[in-house]
Amino acid sequence: MKRTRQQVGLGQTERAENVRGAFRVPDRRKPEIRGRAVMLVDDVYTTGATVSAAARTLKRAGAARVDVLTFARVLPGDFLPEDQELI
């Protein structure tokens, strides 16, 4: 597991790199996940970097399926054109 910086202001590639290796399932918890469907909750879906990294970690830990529930979604066009790279 690694510490990450805040995602605000990072582009899509930077966000993915920022969260790469940020999530870990402790060995003692893997039996609770193995073969099960897991619901991952995220407050805001921007580029998908965070949920992708977390879901990948859960799948590697043995989750049969990972579903994502999110409360808000940032879409292209939600910001001024000069701000698009900062999403």
Over residues 16-34, the pLDDT tens digits come to 776 777 788 999 999 999 9
Give the domain range for residue 31.
Answer: 12-79
- C-beta of residue 68 within 8 angstroms of C-beta of residue 38: no
**Is 59:34 a contact under the CB 8 Å cutoff?**
no
85 vs 45, residue with greater confidence: 45
Burial 6-35 (b: 16+ CB within 10 A, else e): ebeebeeeebbebbeeebebeeeeeeebee
If one counts the domains in the chain, the total is: 1
**In this model, does residue 86 exceed pLDDT 60?**
no
Residue 1 maps to a domain: no
pLDDT at 4: 66
Give the 3-state secondary structure of residue 72. Answer: strand
Beta-strand runs (E) in the chain = 37-45, 65-73
Say which residue, 80 or 8, is predicted with more confidence: 8
In a domain, 71, yes or no: yes
Tell me what pLDDT residue 44 has. 83
- pLDDT confidence of residue 73: 77
- pLDDT recorded at residue 29: 95
